[in-house]
Structure 1
């Protein structure tokens, strides 16, 4: 099959970036002449598996796409169905979804910062080695991660692949006593979260300024989790229904993970993109925690993505406390609806970035077709671009072990998935 035809085919599947990856570098005369970042995870056919399923099955099925950010997949799915069927959820359900999202961001960001990224900046090869010298740092990370998991368990029914979310709201309302207990734990962790921002901002980070476009959801009244328009720092401002008119997914021969472009160019989604675009919506007392550090937003240094995650952890603690202050039991945790033949779009912010869904439904509420665009595939092209520029700046005369470590650090900035981010890389370097 001709190469051009391969690239024009959109494979109706969803791949998950997990397992091992490889980076091939050809270096000629001190310059990279070829760079190929490959992901090998086989397709899992989620988009096809959803066809024929009832709309209420979709949130639980899509949650299985990822064990770290199942809430994001559920939320994009329920928002798409609610748009398709004209469902307006209650303010109580909206607040509870926001609170559930706080839990997911907390556990994902805390795990990434303390167990995956921090060892890079402190000179350790693992979090276990780091814990021997900095036990309080690792303990803080596990505490914050555990708190996020408890939020997800109390609200969602369990911490991994929650089961309480449904089209129209929630199947059941969490008990008041358990929510009040969560509030006590969150209040106790608030100062730790603030100190985390200060600590991360003081870490020695490479100076690696690059030019890229940041893309995120934007809501006029709040820092967004699961509602808003899609915007960029280059002037984009569209509704989620218009995503496919501006963004393009495409296959590359060397990877099972799809790549994506915005108007023909690579772009960034995720914590750094969000803070770059939306920093003015973060509370002033959180941004003040960066005072005196070398980290300021907006930033063109991808290594500042860890500071962006720390800011979002602090924001999640504050926001969860605000939402829990007014928590009461509703008369009914969900609203009834009538399915119809229609199309719906859902776009929310997973910990790793913007997650877009589209569903075409039959009149009985079953799925006709599904399309899911996860954040990792949206960042793939930007990751390759970043690797090319970062390794040049780092110095291609470094030995292969040093190049591998720097490449892994670059990829960890994007946190594409847990296993890829920790031990993903097989490096092949050809020098001429």
Structure 2
């Protein structure tokens, strides 16, 4: 009888997800009999911390949930409050929020591609080692990331945990000369974003076809950031207020991080899900960058997530340039807000996928209760499913070190907050 291999993987994580994580893998007779991807994080209690807080405090508090995608948390929060209080923001504020979101997508995607994912496909231990062979690529990536941070700083007041967004619009309007200078910087770097797409889609990526359900926001007139209905490629089409009727978060006994199902099954959110569902809303000149490459969408290869991120960087660059060209100073940067007892929902597309908020407010505008469903918890069940299928396809007779590397690559495809997306697996093998 073939010996059983039990692989226990301990995961040191960075500050964005506190605690430890582990991948536990039991292999018996060439089959995975047990797979558990656990994240051990102490309770952060953001939903409870929000209770009793004034509605204008909520965006800045929720921004602290993530240092990489604070805009997503702010935007979902302000949309929920505006729905609850019946606030209609101006077209100026809507456009500026879209610009702010462009900055977050550019910086987050550029960081993931160059510092986390690309070294996997090129055989380097880390980005510093990759930079010795591909200095131009890493330099270009850091430049793009810096431009994303610059958008967030100019529009949001600072690049980490911006402070300018508020319920009703923005606290202040960015200066016209700063916005024109930012536009010129982005126009000068547009070619870099296009070159990045061509480079990424021709990287050597494993061919690992799987069957999964993609979920994303859909807006009839634009590639979505802040608004839309929730759709899937298996027929779902609902308003954001119906989320809890179709999606279910649940606790697994081996992890403090929640899992989520759509109609009882795992699903995917994030850049690959968005491009799979919404590719027809991307400009033709961006899709033409894929010509002659092995990457085509829709794709059932999770390793094509990096190509989807590159496409979204190029899209965000073009969209930011368009919005900056149309920018003008408003009469007022925000509209008045009259509070009432009500419930509001907010749902936006964080770099890592769908981010859903629900708030019940008291008549004075303080929070009665809150619920926040981040992309990482929504992808957790899909990650486990992917690990099971990918490791089987890779070959369980490979060495423990090889299995460890493939598991790291699979998990990094989801960019499950930067803490879990580092080169992180330490392997301990117990043999029967």
TM-score under structure 2 length normalisation: 0.95
1:10 maps to none
Post-superposition offset of 1:428: 4.4
| CA spacing shift, 1:273–1:19, aligned 2, 3 Å | farther
Q: Where does structure 1 differ by over 3 angstroms across 4 or more consecutive aligned residues?
A: 15-20, 426-432
1:144 maps to 144
Query: 1:78-102, CA deviations, whole angstroms, 9 ceiling, x for partnerless residues?
Result: 0000000000000000000000000
Unaligned runs of 5+ residues in structure 2 are 1-14
Does the Cα contact within 8 Å between 1:22 and 1:427 map onto a contact in 2?
no
2:303 maps to 303
| CA spacing shift, 1:19–1:425, aligned 2, 3 Å | farther
Post-superposition offset of 1:417: 1.5
Unaligned runs of 5+ residues in structure 1 are 1-14
1:27 and 2:27 matched:
yes
Post-superposition offset of 1:429: 4.5
2:117 maps to 117
2:279 maps to 279
Does the Cα contact within 8 Å between 1:25 and 1:428 map onto a contact in 2?
no
Q: Secondary structure at the match of 2:421?
A: helix
Aligned mates of 1:17, 1:193 — CA distance in 2 = 30
| CA spacing shift, 1:16–1:116, aligned 2, 3 Å | closer
Post-superposition offset of 1:426: 3.6
Q: Secondary structure at the match of 1:423?
A: coil
Query: 1:50-77, CA deviations, whole angstroms, 9 ceiling, x for partnerless residues?
Result: 0000000000000000000000000000
Post-superposition offset of 1:16: 6.4
Residue pairs, 1:169-318, within 5 angstroms: 169-318=169-318
**Structure 1 stretch 104-113 or stretch 416-425: which is displaced more?**
416-425
Aligned mates of 1:87, 1:18 — CA distance in 2 = 36
1:128 maps to 128
RMSD (Å), alpha carbons: 1.1
Q: Secondary structure at the match of 2:292?
A: coil
Post-superposition offset of 1:424: 3.3
Aligned mates of 1:177, 1:280 — CA distance in 2 = 35
Q: Secondary structure at the match of 1:99?
A: helix
Query: 1:155-202, CA deviations, whole angstroms, 9 ceiling, x for partnerless residues?
Result: 000000000000000000000011011101100110110010000000
> How many correspondences in the alignment?
418
TM-score under structure 1 length normalisation: 0.95
| CA spacing shift, 1:275–1:182, aligned 2, 3 Å | same
Post-superposition offset of 1:22: 1.1
| CA spacing shift, 1:393–1:43, aligned 2, 3 Å | same
Post-superposition offset of 1:347: 0.2
Post-superposition offset of 1:423: 3.2
Does the Cα contact within 8 Å between 1:16 and 1:41 map onto a contact in 2?
no
